[in-house]
């Protein structure tokens, strides 16, 4: 359990974790984020250095921000630092965390920073900015490793390697709380009873696998509520993607056998499952049951399709994560492959934020620490580069996993081939990233020149709203920076003003901007860049706000920002061309003549991409809201569609999703649905939100 130094007081937000105390005697810092999980991993050097002799200038005021002042602050911390393991945080005058590190002996580590010379430029900058140090003592070095990476992920210090894309991975779940188990995609806490298989690298790989598994094993994917309400099989039964347990098209033992086969396949016994299906196919063919034989043939083909999509399926690696890092142009790319049950379950590229002076091994070691902070490690972790403190990292991962975890750099054989394959992917992914970044930077600069902005924007926010005659109104904000779209910073706003006239686009835009900038003003200073994030970080305040709309929308946005006192943000309105033709947009700037760019102008194409991304995001948000209401109200929300026609549609198509996919001609074939009704239904599902 972490323990605090020097007269600790218990923190009320974290029972048992002492309050933070500065070693320079100043007041304690604000508590860090709550619920610190002690299970995370990272590493740092543990070099030994002599503590500088105490100076005689204790009362002398040194210039702020110099190497001498930083070393003096660290030297004061050394006097109170323990010689045991722990985690330390270096902070600046604004109380921003600059760096989080761990050490086997905190006193020795801090002493190395206090020595007069010999520091790399990055470390010297960090020392110069340091005004005080906070220390947490831990029982073991493994605890220090785990706590360090957790704090790095929470605090994102400027001088640490940062894992910027930390989205959780999806899993496949075969439920265990129903007599007819369901197969579905799952992300988040694994609290529902059942068998979880994963992780998969992306939602797309999960969806493809589930679709193929449905064809191979006919396991249902519908919700329990939909299952209980069936009186006849749905469309999935008709197209042989479900065995139809809802209406007893298959008995309980038969369905249980299908679920067992699916579970066996996902558990790595794919060869045995395929042999069983092949034997059943041969038996059915010998008995002249050709329809059954064809069904087994199709199921075998579906299993073959799953494995062909996986690309590489190693013979000697049952369960492993493969990490390969490539460095080029001062940037890093880490490619991660997931292998479970002898199958390739996808890969993903990461672009960690790290100082270019760091070696690939240093970056990879810190990346691994943060990567497994909230993910269960496999029994084997294969690396392209050796990392420092490899044994300590393996021990920490073993503690987290509850089983022995091996971390190694393979030198030959199939494991080496997996590393080479991952390195090739890392090299190609970084090449694409660098090309996109260079193009994006040039477009940002050209946009600034075209709009006569003082500087190339580092953060662009684009706003749009969507509704159908005022119903299910939603606003959305998308964000773009020098590296492209920042999807983790997208936001949607459910319009909730009671006095708003239905369909009032200006009023909706005013509400969205007011809510966004009021919160921004309360959370972030107007310069928009938290000091600890570094000069290359995307600021929180936008340099340019783009409004999807003409002069009226622009004036509404301008008035809203003026009332809030926001004057440092540039505004741009993008009006659609005649007949909504792309390439004929008109650009509006405050107090300036309208701008018409050439249809092939790269800047116009860039603006169109921004506008279209905002439109895509807001339409998607609107449709989700509308579908939620439709699930509650049913098809009666469509004018002229009552209970009898709703029943006829559901009997014909099986599910609301299939009704949504149907064409006007298909809808017109349903008994009781006229051509006009078919048109209304189609437009209801495919309208672009009225805007």
Residue 14 has pLDDT above 50, yes or no: no
Provide the pLDDT for residue 331: 83
Give me the CATH code for the 320-431 domain, please: 3.30.420
% of the chain at pLDDT higher than 90: 6
Least trusted range by pLDDT, from 74-88, 297-311, 462-476, 659-673 = 297-311
CATH class of segment(s) 460-623: alpha beta
Compute φ and ψ for 327, nearest 5 degrees.
-120, 135
Among the four given CATH numbers 3.30.930.10, 3.40.1440.10, 1.10.540.10, 3.40.50.300, the one describing domain 3-155:
3.40.1440.10
- Cis amide leading into 199 (omega within 30): yes
The model's confidence at residue 383, banded by pLDDT at 50, 70 and 90, is very high
Q: What is the mean pLDDT of the chain?
A: 77
What are the tens digits of pLDDT across the range 454-477? 888 989 999 988 766 556 678 889
Residue 626: burial class (beta carbons within 10 Å; 0-12, 13-18, 19+)? buried
- Measured at the CA of 121, the angle between CA 116 and CA 123, to 5 degrees, comes to 65
Provide the pLDDT for residue 118: 77
511-539 average pLDDT score: 69
Fold match, 320-431 / 460-623: yes
Provide the pLDDT for residue 38: 30
Q: Is-contact 636 656, C-beta < 8 A?
A: no
Residue 17 has pLDDT above 60, yes or no: no
- Measured at the CA of 540, the angle between CA 365 and CA 494, to 5 degrees, comes to 110
Provide the pLDDT for residue 268: 64
In sequence order, what DSSP letters do the residues of 442-507 get, joined into one string? Answer: HHHHHHHHHHT-SS--S-EEEEEEEEETTEEEEEEEEEEETTEE-GGG-EEEE---TTPPTT-HHH
Provide the pLDDT for residue 29: 37
87-99 average pLDDT score: 89
Provide the pLDDT for residue 651: 67
The model's confidence at residue 520, banded by pLDDT at 50, 70 and 90, is confident
Provide the pLDDT for residue 32: 32
Interacting residues of 428 by C-beta distance below 8 A, sequence separation 6+: none
Q: Is-contact 262 681, C-beta < 8 A?
A: no
Q: Is-contact 479 460, C-beta < 8 A?
A: yes
Least trusted range by pLDDT, from 189-198, 211-220, 339-348, 547-556 = 339-348
Provide the pLDDT for residue 389: 83
What are the tens digits of pLDDT across the range 478-505? 998 887 888 888 988 887 776 667 667 7
* Residue among 466, 489, 622, 452 at smallest CA distance from 548: 466
Give the three-class secondary structure for 624.
helix
What are the tens digits of pLDDT across the range 100-114? 988 888 889 898 888
Give the three-class secondary structure for 647.
helix
Distance CA 224, CA 220 (A): 10
Q: Is-contact 532 96, C-beta < 8 A?
A: yes
* Residue among 573, 568, 540, 541 at smallest CA distance from 557: 573
What are the tens digits of pLDDT across the range 595-653? 888 877 888 888 888 888 888 888 877 677 666 655 545 565 676 777 777 777 776 77
* Residue among 418, 39, 336 at smallest CA distance from 167: 336
Going from N- to C-terminal start, the domains of the chain cover 3-155, 171-309, 320-431, 460-623, 638-686
Q: What sign does the dihedral 227-230-235-237 (CA atoms) show?
A: positive
> What CA–CA distances, in Å, run from 160 to 132, 518, 542?
17, 31, 25
The model's confidence at residue 323, banded by pLDDT at 50, 70 and 90, is very high
- HSE at residue 566, side-chain half, CA atoms within 13 A, is 29
Q: How many residues does this entry show for the chain? A: 691
Provide the pLDDT for residue 462: 92
Give me the CATH code for the 638-686 domain, please: 1.10.150.20
Task: Name the residue with higher pLDDT: 93 or 312.
Answer: 93
286-314 average pLDDT score: 67
280-300 average pLDDT score: 76
- Measured at the CA of 403, the angle between CA 402 and CA 409, to 5 degrees, comes to 125
Report yes or no on whether pTM surpasses 0.75. no
Residue 406 has pLDDT above 70, yes or no: yes
């Amino acid at each position: 359990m972490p323990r605090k130094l020097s007269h600790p007081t218990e923190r009320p937000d974290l029972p048992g974790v002492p309050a933070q105390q500065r070693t320079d005697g100043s007041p304690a810092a604000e508590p860090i984020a709550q619920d610190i999980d002690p299970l995370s991993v990272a590493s740092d050097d543990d070099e030994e250095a002599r503590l500088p002799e105490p100076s005689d200038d204790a009362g002398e005021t040194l210039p702020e921000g110099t190497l001498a002042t930083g070393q003096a602050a660290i030297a004061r911390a050394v006097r109170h630092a323990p010689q045991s393991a722990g985690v330390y945080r270096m902070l600046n005058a604004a109380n921003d965390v600059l760096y989080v590190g761990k050490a086997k002996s905190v006193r020795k580590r801090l002493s190395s920073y206090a020595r007069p010379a010999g520091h790399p430029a990055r470390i010297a900058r960090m020392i110069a900015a340091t005004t005080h140090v906070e220390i947490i003592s831990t029982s073991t070095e493994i605890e220090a490793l785990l706590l360090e990476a957790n704090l790095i992920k929470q605090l994102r210090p400027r001088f640490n390697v940062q894992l910027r894309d930390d989205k959780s991975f999806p899993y496949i779940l075969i439920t265990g709380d129903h007599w007819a188990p369901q197969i579905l995609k799952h992300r988040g806490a694994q609290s529902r009873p059942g068998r979880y298989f994963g992780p998969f690298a992306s939602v797309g790989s999960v969806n493809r696998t589930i679709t193929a598994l449905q064809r191979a094993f006919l396991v249902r994917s519908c919700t329990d509520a939909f299952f209980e309400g069936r009186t006849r099989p749905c469309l999935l039964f008709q197209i042989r993607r479900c065995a139809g347990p809802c209406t007893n098209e298959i008995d309980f033992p038969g369905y249980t056998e299908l679920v067992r086969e699916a579970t066996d396949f996902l558990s790595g016994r794919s060869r045995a499952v395929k042999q069983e299906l092949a034997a059943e196919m041969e038996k059915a063919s010998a008995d002249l049951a050709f329809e059954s034989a064809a069904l087994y043939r199709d199921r075998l083909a579906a299993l073959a399709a799953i494995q062909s999509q996986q690309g590489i399926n190693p013979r000697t690696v049952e369960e492993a994560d493969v990490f390969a890092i490539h460095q080029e142009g001062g940037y890093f790319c880490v490619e991660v492959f997931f292998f479970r049950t002898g199958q390739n379950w996808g890969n993903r590229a990461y672009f960690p934020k790290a100082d270019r002076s760091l070696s690939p091994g240093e970056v990879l070691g810190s990346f691994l620490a943060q990567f497994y902070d909230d993910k269960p490690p496999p029994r084997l972790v294969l690396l392209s580069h050796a990392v420092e403190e490899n044994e300590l990292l393996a021990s920490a991962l073993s503690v987290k996993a509850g089983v022995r975890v091996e971390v190694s750099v393979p030198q030959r054989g199939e494991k080496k081939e997996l590393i080479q394959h991952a390195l090739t992917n890392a090299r190609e992914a970084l090449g694409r990233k660098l090309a996109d970044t260079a193009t994006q930077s040039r477009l940002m600069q050209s946009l600034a020149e075209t709009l006569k902005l003082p500087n190339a924007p580092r953060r662009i926010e684009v706003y749009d709203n969507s509704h159908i005659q005022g119903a299910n109104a939603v606003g959305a904000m998308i964000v773009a920076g020098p590296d492209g779209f920042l999807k983790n910073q997208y936001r949607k706003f459910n319009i909730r003003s009671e006095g708003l006239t239905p369909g009032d686009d200006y009023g909706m835009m005013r509400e969205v901007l007011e809510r966004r900038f009021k919160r921004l003003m309360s959370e972030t200073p107007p310069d928009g860049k938290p000091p600890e994030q570094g000069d290359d970080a995307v600021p929180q305040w936008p340099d340019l706000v783009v409004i999807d709309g003409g002069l009226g929308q622009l004036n509404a946005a301008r008035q809203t920002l003026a009332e809030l006192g926001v004057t440092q943000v540039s505004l741009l309105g993008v009006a659609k061309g005649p007949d909504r033709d792309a390439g004929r947009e008109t650009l509006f700037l405050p107090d300036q003549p309208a701008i018409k760019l050439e249809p092939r102008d790269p800047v116009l194409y860039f603006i169109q991409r921004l506008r279209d991304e905002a439109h895509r995001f807001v339409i998607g948000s609107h449709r989700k809201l509308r579908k939620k209401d439709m699930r509650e109200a049913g098809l009666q929300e469509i004018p002229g569609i009552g209970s009898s026609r709703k029943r006829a549609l559901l009997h014909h198509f099986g599910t609301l999703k299939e009704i949504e996919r149907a064409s006007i001609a298909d809808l017109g074939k349903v008994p009781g649905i006229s051509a006009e009704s078919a048109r209304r239904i189609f437009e209801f599902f495919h309208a672009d939100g009225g805007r």
